[in-house]
């Protein structure tokens, strides 16, 4: 990859290396994998941008997972993730090398950095994509993003601005296996780093969850009107604990006092994207399903076979939620 | 003639609906089950101007126009009939007459606490022997120096159990052949005003409807609303306005019946399809929707006339008559659509059925409304 | 403390319609609300102003119908409302939208100490506008704020980002994008709504008032373009199982085992 002086020819599929939670958040590795596919179609290379201090270990990991090139800026002033400083540094590098595509994981940081960066580069950006493909006719990157809370999907393109930028939802693409025999190149561009004094990280500590951590939960046990009254609904707290999950609730269940307001799922409550969502005794009203449709697997239990919730369930059980959960708890208690 | 809601009315509807759905849904069930009035919720609503809808802001109210006020009462009633009734009566026949007929001192002393919801109001007209035949009432007010002494029995006083201010309708010239009526503002704490136990009602449960007895109740003459002998005029004018509130409240119940029926009909499957696909059910829904639309237009027309200060006795009687009958019919059809489930407490439709009936009775029965309308069209 | 709040009028999700030619949503005839997170931002602004003194200006870029949202914002406590409306603004992506909003904010006298936005909207969900306004105005930003403390010329804010709870010191003026945990929007009394709709003035600025050219705004000023809107394929294809509670519980157990959430039962010898 060479520094480009000609504005009309851009190349390279670049990925922002978001290594802060390296072992839990695999999205950079997932993007390297997809980036390889895109790069192959475009007949170019995959590069990963890594900024920070002591980043060499991550550079090696990224190469082992498929990166052709690492573009590294190793500096103590970049030790903490910081949007304003990172924007200036990345923008400068992007302007010299002019990659065709720049991707990032839709982590909290990614979703803060990329818009600022896109504005700085005066280019287009799509958020939280669930699919990426190269259009065979135009060669453009088709960025598929959810709209209207996931009700619709929008295929977005950036026809006239570069790089084509997108943040990508974690878990969409599969990372390639680690292969330490792969070789890659590391570039060390000289960048003038001017940290932004206006913003200072006073303290950063691992987030201890409050009473509920619905948005971060891998498993959500959601109860609706069909799980009442309170004595029956309370079974869900035990179930959640046994499965290592969190309890959510629909508006009717909260109104009835079976769960606190902070457990509300849906349009006026929380949106969750767990690996597993158990939807128990819920009919599937739109205000509720808007908050759960991003779940990877949905298991629904309802006594009405025509409840709308069944249309979005991977596993659907027709019956009285309370008796089924009681039977399930009996079985689980035996095992644990 | 402009029949679409204004931007303001659309926002008011949305605001009231949001509050009602979030805050009153649980309250509605609790009130119906326990029969208790939710003072804490009422206090919260007071802070949001629910108790001073049409009263100007200088007296602590919201200063809404009659159509907007009807929208608020409808939206509350759609979720909680008993609370909608409380607001309709408090606003329409207790607070408003004090605004319309009171002098500045009375407004300061009584209207402000009513409009801010600090005190809940009643209008005491009905007696054991005076229902539709209101003018045969027997409560008397006898002049004694600077006071009047009130004696009599009022029954079925809506909001009575929690009221702080009561408008008492009585005769002020007992013994004379031609009766003369007056309205007195009497605080609940006043010596001689006694409240009886609240009624155990079929519907609108949780609204503390109770008898109020006046036993040598000594009331300063400054508490007489309006001029001497103006009582009848005040009563008629007040009831005319009050009908709009009841029409709005009936409309809310009817709309709740339609919404519940639509939801149920789409979810319930028999014979391999949703029952909303069947002509018989569609006929029910079409009739309900059409009649509700007609009731709504009648109400807004009457409210519009009131807005412009034009005579609206006939139109308000029509609005109340029609909306209340539509509510009862909608509830009946609603239960029918729900089938067996409609007869259980698992669905709210049975509460709407019990709540709707009284709309045809209070604040002038349907029979009385028909007389009023006939009198007007025969003029 | 002078605060600018950016709000957007968004459709109430169930009643959406799409303009297939311009790939934007048709706003006419659809029930519209203030984006819920913008209500949180507005509440935070009004709260800060009540505590510290100052002035809250609420701005919105949208069609004339957005006036409704701005009046509601005035009823919720804003001091001044500005509608940025112009036929040229239509079809804007976040790049063009943030350009218009940033230009409008830069024209406020005096320049605000704080710009508050909801962190994302329920219709487009991008979360781009606040950072892009910050970049254009060259202001520091923090997104996902759930706590704000005011000091003499800086803020101390807290937010959760990627499993970290951050405490950040950010100097004024700043852009903060708020999360739903920051505060709960108050209910609006009817008296305030009546006043907002009868007494108050909405300031209107168009493209020329903002000294912008057609190429910088709307569809022309956008870098991204929606080529196609489609509905997600129904990826769920579960069949409905029935049976006794024990049998159905058994299905659940099998599924949990398959997903690795519970361990498979040891086979009995």
Confidence at residue A250, expressed as pLDDT on a 0 to 100 scale? 93
The reply to whether A7-187 and A219-334 are identical in fold is yes
Model pLDDT for residues A10-57, shown as the tens digit of each residue:
689 999 999 988 877 789 999 999 999 999 999 999 999 999 999 999
d(CA C59, CA B342): 48
Which of B26, B269, B274 minimises the CB distance to A256?
A: B26
Q: What angle do CA C51, C54, C56 make, to 5 degrees?
A: 100
CB contact under 8 A, B26 and A305: no
Nearest C-alpha in C relative to B62: C191
Confidence at residue C16, expressed as pLDDT on a 0 to 100 scale? 64
Res C20 pLDDT > 80? no
Which of A148, A203, A305 minimises the CB distance to C16?
A: A148
How far CA C169 is from CA of B32, C138, C155, in Å, comes to: 52, 17, 6
Chain C: closest CA distance from residue A223 (Å): 16
- Is the CB of residue B267 less than 8 Å away from at least one CB of chain A? yes
**Chain C interface mutation, best of B4, B15, B66, B71, highest count of C Cβ atoms under 10 Å:** B15
Could you give the dihedral angle defined by the CA atoms of residues B50, B51, B57 and B62, in that order, rounded to the nearest 10 degrees? 20
Model pLDDT for residues C23-53, shown as the tens digit of each residue:
566 666 567 899 999 999 999 999 999 999 9
CB contact under 8 A, A207 and C163: yes
Q: Which of B74, B75, B199, B363 is catalytic?
A: B363
Nearest C-alpha in A relative to B23: A255
User: In tens digits, what is the pLDDT along chain B, a chain of 379 residues?
Assistant: 677 889 999 999 999 999 999 899 989 999 999 999 999 999 999 999 999 999 999 999 999 999 999 999 999 999 999 999 999 999 999 999 999 999 999 999 999 999 999 999 999 999 999 999 888 899 999 999 999 999 999 999 999 999 999 999 999 888 888 889 999 999 999 999 999 999 999 999 999 999 999 999 999 999 999 987 889 999 999 999 999 999 999 999 999 999 999 989 988 888 988 899 999 999 999 999 999 999 999 999 999 999 999 999 999 999 999 999 999 999 999 999 999 999 998 889 999 999 999 999 999 999 999 999 999 999 9
- Whether the CB-CB separation of B268 and A283 falls below 8 Å is answered with no
Question: Among residues A38, A36, A32, which one has the least CA distance to residue A15?
Answer: A32
Q: Encoding tokens for residue B354?
A: 């019990």
Q: Within 10 A of A234 (CB to CB), how many other CB atoms are there? A: 15
Confidence at residue B343, expressed as pLDDT on a 0 to 100 scale? 96
Res A4 pLDDT > 50? no
Q: What angle do CA A200, A204, A208 make, to 5 degrees?
A: 150
Residue corresponding to tokens 């982590």: A107
Domain boundaries, chain C: 2-216
Instruction: Give chain B's contact residues with C (Cβ, < 8 Å).
Output: 6-8, 10-12, 14-15, 19, 47-50, 52-53, 57, 61-64, 68, 72
Domain boundaries, chain A: 7-187, 219-334
Which of A24, A124, A207 minimises the CB distance to C160?
A: A207
Find residues 293-332 of chain A whose CB sits inside 8 Å of chain C: 297-299, 301, 305, 310-320, 323-328, 330-332
Torsion sign (Cα): A120, A124, A126, A131: negative
d(CA A75, CA A193): 9
CB contact under 8 A, B19 and C187: yes
Written out in words, the top-level CATH class of the domain with range A219-334 is alpha beta
pLDDT band (50, 70, 90) for residue A219 = very high
Confidence at residue C22, expressed as pLDDT on a 0 to 100 scale? 62
* pTM across the whole model: 0.85
Confidence at residue C26, expressed as pLDDT on a 0 to 100 scale? 66
Model pLDDT for residues A175-194, shown as the tens digit of each residue:
899 999 999 999 999 999 99
Chain B: closest CA distance from residue C69 (Å): 9
Which of B22, B25, B269 minimises the CB distance to A306?
A: B269
- Whether the CB-CB separation of B329 and B337 falls below 8 Å is answered with no
Average pLDDT over residues C118-134: 91
Q: Encoding tokens for residue B127?
A: 């007696």
Question: Among residues B25, B35, B29, B33, which one has the least CA distance to residue B208?
Answer: B35
Active site includes B363? yes
- Contacting residues for A140 by C-beta, under 8 A, at least 6 apart: A134, A157, A158, A159, A164
The domain made up of C2-216 has a fold known as Rossmann fold (3.40.50)
CB contact under 8 A, A306 and B26: no
Chain C: closest CA distance from residue A40 (Å): 24
Cα end-to-end distance, chain B, whole Å: 26
Confidence at residue B263, expressed as pLDDT on a 0 to 100 scale? 87
> B11 to chain C: which residues are within 8 Å by CB?
68, 71-72, 75, 193, 197
Res A75 pLDDT > 70? yes
CB contact under 8 A, C226 and A243: no
- Contacting residues for B366 by C-beta, under 8 A, at least 6 apart: B321, B324, B325, B360
CATH 3.90.1150.10 describes domain A7-187: no
């Amino acid at each position: 990859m060479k520094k480009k002086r000609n504005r009309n020819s851009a190349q390279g599929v670049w990925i922002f290396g978001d290594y802060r939670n390296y072992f839990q958040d695999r999205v950079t590795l997932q993007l390297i994998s997809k980036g390889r596919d895109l790069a192959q179609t475009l007949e170019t290379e995959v590069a990963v941008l890594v900024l920070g201090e002591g980043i060499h270990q991550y550079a090696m990991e990224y190469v082992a997972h498929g990166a052709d090139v690492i573009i590294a800026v190793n500096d103590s002033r970049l030790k903490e993730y910081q949007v304003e400083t990172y924007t200036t540094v990345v923008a400068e590098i992007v302007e010299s090398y002019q990659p065709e595509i720049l991707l990032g994981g839709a982590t909290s940081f990614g979703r803060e950095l990329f818009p600022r960066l896109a504005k700085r580069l005066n280019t287009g950006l799509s958020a939280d994509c669930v699919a990426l493909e190269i259009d065979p006719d135009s060669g453009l990157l088709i960025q598929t993003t959810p709209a209207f809370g996931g009700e619709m999907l929008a295929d977005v393109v950036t026809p006239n601005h570069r790089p084509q930028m997108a943040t990508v939802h974690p878990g969409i693409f599969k990372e390639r296996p680690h292969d330490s025999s792969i070789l890659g190149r590391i570039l060390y561009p000289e960048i003038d780093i001017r940290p932004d004094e206006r913003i200072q990280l006073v303290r950063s500590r691992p987030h201890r969850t409050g009473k509920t951590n619905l948005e971060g939960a891998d498993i959500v046990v959601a109860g609706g009107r069909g799980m009442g009254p309170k004595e029956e609904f309370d079974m869900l707290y035990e179930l959640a604990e046994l499965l290592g999950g969190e309890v959510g609730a629909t508006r009717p269940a909260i109104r009835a006092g079976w769960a606190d307001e902070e457990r509300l799922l849906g349009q006026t409550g929380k949106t969750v994207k767990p690996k597993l969502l158990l939807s128990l005794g819920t009919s599937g009203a739109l205000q509720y399903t808007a908050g759960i449709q991003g779940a990877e697997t949905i298991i629904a239990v309802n006594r009405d076979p025509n409840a709308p919730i069944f249309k979005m369930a991977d596993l659907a059980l027709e019956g009285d939620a309370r008796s089924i959960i009681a039977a399930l708890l009996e079985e689980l208690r035996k095992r644990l | 003639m402009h029949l679409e809601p204004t931007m303001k009315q659309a926002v008011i509807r949305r605001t009231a609906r949001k509050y009602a759905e979030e805050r009153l849904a649980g309250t509605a069930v609790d009130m119906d089950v326990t029969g208790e009035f939710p003072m804490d919720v009422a206090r919260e609503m007071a802070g949001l101007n629910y108790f001073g809808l049409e009263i100007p802001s200088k007296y602590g109210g919201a200063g809404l126009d009659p159509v907007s006020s009807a929208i608020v009462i409808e939206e509350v009633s759609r979720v909680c009939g008993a609370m909608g009734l409380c607001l309709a009566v408090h606003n329409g026949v207790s607070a408003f007459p004090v605004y319309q007929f009171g002098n500045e001192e009375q407004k300061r002393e009584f209207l402000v606490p009513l409009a801010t919801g600090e005190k809940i109001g009643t209008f005491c007209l009905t007696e054991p022997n005076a229902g539709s035949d209101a003018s045969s009432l027997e409560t008397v007010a006898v002049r004694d120096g600077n006071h009047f002494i009130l004696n009599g029995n009022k029954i079925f006083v809506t909001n009575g159990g929690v009221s702080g201010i009561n408008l008492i309708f009585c005769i002020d010239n007992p013994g004379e052949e031609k009766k003369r009526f007056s309205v007195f503002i009497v605080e609940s704490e006043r010596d001689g005003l006694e409240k009886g136990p609240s009624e155990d009602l079929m519907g609108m449960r949780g609204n503390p409807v109770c008898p109020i007895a006046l036993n040598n109740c000594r009331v300063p003459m400054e508490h007489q609303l309006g001029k001497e002998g103006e009582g009848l005029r005040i009563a008629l004018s007040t009831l005319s306005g009050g009908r709009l509130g009841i029409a709005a409240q009936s409309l809310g119940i009817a709309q709740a019946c339609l919404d519940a029926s639509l939801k149920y009909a789409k979810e319930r499957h028999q014979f391999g399809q949703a029952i909303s696909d069947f002509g018989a059910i569609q006929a029910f829904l079409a009739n309900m929707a059409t009649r509700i639309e007609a009731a709504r237009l009648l109400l807004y027309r009457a409210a519009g006339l009131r807005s412009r200060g034009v005579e609206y006795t006939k139109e308000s009687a029509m609005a109340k008559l029609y909306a209340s009958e539509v509510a009862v019919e909608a509830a009946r059809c609603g239960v029918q659509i729900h089938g067996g489930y409609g007869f259980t407490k698992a669905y709210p439709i049975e509460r709407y059925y019990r709540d709707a009936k009284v709309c045809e009775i209070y604040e002038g029965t349907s029979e009385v409304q028909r007389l009023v309308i006939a009198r007007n069209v025969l003029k | 403390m002078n605060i600018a709040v950016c709000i957007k009028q968004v459709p109430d999700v169930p009643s959406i319609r799409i303009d297939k030619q311009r790939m934007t949503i048709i706003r006419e005839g659809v029930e519209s609300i203030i984006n819920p997170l913008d209500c949180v931002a507005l509440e935070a602004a009004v709260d800060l102003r009540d505590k510290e003194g100052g002035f809250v200006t609420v701005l919105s870029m949208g069609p004339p119908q957005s006036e409704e949202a701005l009046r509601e914002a005035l009823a919720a406590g804003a001091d001044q409302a500005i509608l940025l409306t112009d036929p040229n603004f239509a079809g804007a992506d976040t790049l063009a939208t943030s350009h218009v909003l940033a230009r409008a904010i830069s024209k406020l006298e005096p320049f605000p100490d704080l710009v508050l936005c909801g962190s994302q909207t329920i219709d487009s969900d991008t979360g781009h506008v606040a950072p892009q306004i910050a970049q254009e105005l060259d202001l520091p930003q923090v997104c996902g704020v759930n706590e704000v403390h005011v000091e003499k010329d800086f803020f101390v804010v807290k937010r959760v980002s990627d499993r970290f709870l951050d405490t950040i010191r950010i100097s004024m003026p700043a852009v903060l994008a708020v999360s739903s945990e920051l505060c709960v929007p108050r209910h609006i009394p009817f008296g305030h709504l009546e006043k907002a709709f009868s007494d108050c003035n909405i300031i209107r600025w168009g493209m020329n008032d903002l000294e912008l050219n057609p190429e910088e705004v709307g569809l022309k000023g956008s870098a991204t373009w929606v080529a196609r809107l489609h509905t997600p394929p129904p990826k769920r294809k579960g069949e409905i199982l029935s049976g006794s509670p024990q049998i159905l519980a058994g299905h659940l157990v099998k599924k949990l085992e398959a997903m690795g959430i519970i361990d498979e039962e040891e086979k009995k010898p």
